[in-house]
Amino acid sequence: MSAESDEEPADVRVTVERRIDAPPAAVWDAVADIDVTEAMLPGCRELRFGVDRDHVEAGDRGRATLAIDIGPLAPSFETQVEVVRREYPEMSITATGDAAGSTFHTTADLSLDAMNDGTDVTWVATATVDGRVAALSGALRPVVAEVADRFFERLDEHLA
C-alpha cells in the first residue's frame, strides 16, 4: 500500500477485441514498431527502448511517460516497460510505473488472428494499482479500455 494513501490496491482486468483492416503481418510489424506505438498510444509523451533498431524484441526493456486522465486526476506515469515475449502471433509486455501518490503494475497480452478481411486483435491487460488512483478504481477500467481501443483505432487508420 502507498504511504500516501489508505486505499487498498485495486485490481483491474481489461479485454479489448478489435478487427483491423490489414493483414496480420502488417499489424504484427506495426505493434512492435517503437515510433508507431509512441505515436498511436493516447497519452504517450515518450517511449524509448535504447536499442539500435526500430522494432522491439523479447527481452527489450524501455521507459515511457504516460499521461492519462482518470476521473478528477491526471497523473503522468513514469513507466518501466519490458517485452516479455514476442513470438508471432502473440506478444506479452509488463509495465510498472508511478506518479505522485500512485503506482501500478500491468501485464498485457496481445494476440492476432488472421481473418479473410483483416486481423482480429485481442488485448488483455491485468493491473494492480495502488495509491490515489486506486481510490478511483471504478473509473479506471473504462479509462484503460478507452485508451486501448483508441490505440487500435489509430493503428487501424495508420495501416489503412
Give the CATH number for residue 45.
3.30.530.20
| Cell numbers describing residue 66 | 504516460
Based on the structure, what is the number of domains in the chain? Answer: 1
In a domain, 49, yes or no: yes
Asked if the structure places residue 2 within a domain, the reply is: no
Residue 90 domain-assigned?
yes
Decide if 5 is inside a domain.
no
pLDDT at 73: 63
Nearest to 60 by CA among 69, 52, 51: 51
Residue 144 belongs to what domain range? 10-159
Identify whether 3 is part of a domain. no
Question: Which residues of the chain fall short of a pLDDT of 50?
Answer: 1-5
Q: Is residue 1 situated within a structural domain? A: no
Q: Of the candidates 19, 42, 17, which has an alpha carbon nearest to the alpha carbon of residue 160?
A: 19
Q: Whole-model pTM?
A: 0.85
Q: What is the pLDDT of residue 2?
A: 38
- Angle of the 24-32 helix axis to the 137-159 helix axis, nearest 10: 120
Residue 142 sits at φ, ψ, to 5 deg, of -65, -30
Beta strand 118-131 with 76-87 is: unpaired
